[in-house]
């Protein structure tokens, strides 16, 4: 009633680059869909991240033409028919984008999330690790006392996709043991990575015995200001 619904659809598209391409599509339909466009995520082991983003952009363009009418089925048919063309276009503009991006920085973004609790901790942690891996995000899942933080770095669109997954997937269990969505997550900060910030090379799960250890992790990464602004208030 408040979050809308999500549907995952996996399709195989024939004869693209002489091989089958398996596309994993996630449609998040908001409460007032189809008057509002759905959020769309595209993943594929056979395509690059840039190609997946191009497919997503084209699907959103198509979605605008179907506004106010059910569109998921039409979008799937469209991508099955036009994937080959999208990939060809993606390859032709790739060199242009590379040249442009050299002068403008890599546009890496950072996200800091606070989770209230994890009842099914092992499963929850494994899910977060998988999402970070699938979306090529680096950073930390950090535990200190009762505080749980997720710090992510990566492509801005991947950060957005992560947020959709975090909000719409059943990642934990409630007090009766039933699977449930994360309803007590807070976005503490979402910003572009600056030159003074260290880039994380991997995604790691870390537990700290004291707040000072967590603070040192932030300071080593050039994120002392981020720590002082957002972490101490969580202790109150």
pLDDT tens-place string over residues 67-122: 999 999 999 999 999 888 887 776 655 444 433 333 333 578 999 999 988 988 99
Q: What percent of the chain stands above pLDDT 70?
A: 91
Task: Give long-range contacts, CB 8 A cutoff, 24+ apart: 169-174.
Answer: 169/6, 169/127, 171/123, 171/124, 171/127, 171/128, 172/117, 172/118, 172/119, 172/120, 172/123, 172/124, 173/119, 173/120, 174/119
- How many other CB atoms are there within 10 angstroms of residue 165's CB atom? 20
CB 124 within 8 A of CB 54: no
Q: Provide the β-strand partners of residue 41.
A: 26
pLDDT higher than 70, residue 169: yes
Between residues 110 and 50, the one the model is more confident about: 110
Choose one of 60, 91, 122: the last residue of a domain.
Answer: 91
Q: Give the pLDDT of residue 214.
A: 94
CA dist., res. 210 & res. 114, Å (int)? 17
pLDDT higher than 80, residue 129: yes
- How many other CB atoms are there within 10 angstroms of residue 83's CB atom? 23
- pLDDT bucket at 172, cuts 50 / 70 / 90: confident
CA dist., res. 137 & res. 39, Å (int)? 19
Domain of 43, CATH number, reads 3.10.110.10
CB 138 within 8 A of CB 203: yes
Between residues 17 and 143, the one the model is more confident about: 143
Looking at the fold, whether 48 and 118 belong to one and the same domain comes out as no
Looking at the fold, whether 122 and 177 belong to one and the same domain comes out as yes
CA dist., res. 128 & res. 131, Å (int)? 5
Q: Give the pLDDT of residue 2.
A: 74
- Taking residues 13-40, what's their average pLDDT? 84
What is the number of alpha carbons within 13 Å of residue 50 lying toward its C-beta?
A: 12
CA dist., res. 204 & res. 182, Å (int)? 21
Looking at the fold, whether 223 and 117 belong to one and the same domain comes out as yes
| Domain assignment of residue 104, yes or no | no
Domain of 170, CATH number, reads 3.30.70.100
- At 137, list the tokens: 């995000």
Looking at the fold, whether 72 and 124 belong to one and the same domain comes out as no
- At 34, list the tokens: 């189809």
Looking at the fold, whether 191 and 131 belong to one and the same domain comes out as yes
Looking at the fold, whether 80 and 182 belong to one and the same domain comes out as no
| Domain assignment of residue 40, yes or no | yes
Looking at the fold, whether 129 and 181 belong to one and the same domain comes out as yes
Looking at the fold, whether 83 and 128 belong to one and the same domain comes out as no
Phi, psi at residue 46, to the nearest 5°? -90, -10
**Range in 33-37, 112-116, 140-144, 170-174 the model is least confident about:** 170-174
**Range in 146-150, 178-182, 201-205, 219-223 the model is least confident about:** 178-182
CA dist., res. 73 & res. 15, Å (int)? 21
| Domain assignment of residue 67, yes or no | yes
Query: Average per-residue pLDDT in the chain?
Result: 85
- Spatial CB neighbours of 68, under 8 Å, sequence gap ≥ 6: 34, 35
Q: Give the pLDDT of residue 101.
A: 38
| Domain assignment of residue 116, yes or no | yes
Q: Give the pLDDT of residue 103.
A: 34
Hunting for tokens 């994993």 — which residue is that? 24
- Which is it for strands 203-208 and 138-144: parallel, antiparallel or unpaired? parallel
| Domain assignment of residue 99, yes or no | no
Between residues 171 and 2, the one the model is more confident about: 171
CA dist., res. 172 & res. 128, Å (int)? 11
pLDDT in tens, 187-203: 888 888 887 788 899 99
The count of domains in the chain is 2
Q: Give the pLDDT of residue 97.
A: 40
Looking at the fold, whether 121 and 67 belong to one and the same domain comes out as no
CB 30 within 8 A of CB 71: no
Q: Give the pLDDT of residue 137.
A: 95
Q: Give the pLDDT of residue 128.
A: 94
* Domain span including residue 49: 5-91
Looking at the fold, whether 138 and 223 belong to one and the same domain comes out as yes
């Amino acid at each position: 009633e408040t979050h809308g619904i999500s549907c995952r659809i996996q399709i195989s598209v024939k004869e693209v680059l002489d091989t089958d391409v398996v596309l994993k599509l996630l449609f998040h339909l908001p409460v007032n869909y189809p008057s509002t466009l759905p959020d769309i995520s595209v993943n594929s082991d056979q395509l690059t991240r840039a190609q997946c983003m191009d497919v997503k952009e084209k699907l959103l363009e198509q979605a605008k033409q179907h506004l106010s009418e059910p569109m998921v089925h039409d979008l799937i048919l469209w991508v099955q028919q036009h994937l080959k063309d999208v990939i060809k276009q993606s390859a032709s503009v790739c060199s242009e984008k590379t040249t442009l991006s050299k002068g403008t920085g890599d546009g890496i973004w950072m996200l800091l999330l606070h989770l209230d609790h994890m009842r099914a901790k092992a499963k929850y942690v494994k899910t977060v690790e998988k999402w970070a891996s699938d979306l090529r995000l680096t950073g930390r899942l950090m535990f200190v006392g009762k505080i749980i933080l997720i710090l992510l770095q990566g492509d801005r669109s991947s950060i957005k996709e992560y947020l959709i997954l975090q909000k719409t997937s059943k990642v934990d269990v409630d007090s009766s043991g039933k699977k449930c969505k994360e309803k007590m997550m807070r976005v503490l900060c979402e910003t572009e990575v600056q030159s003074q910030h260290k880039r994380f090379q991997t995604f790691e799960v870390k537990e700290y015995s004291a707040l000072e250890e967590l603070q040192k992790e932030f300071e080593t990464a050039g994120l002392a200001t981020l720590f002082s602004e957002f972490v101490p208030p969580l202790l109150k």
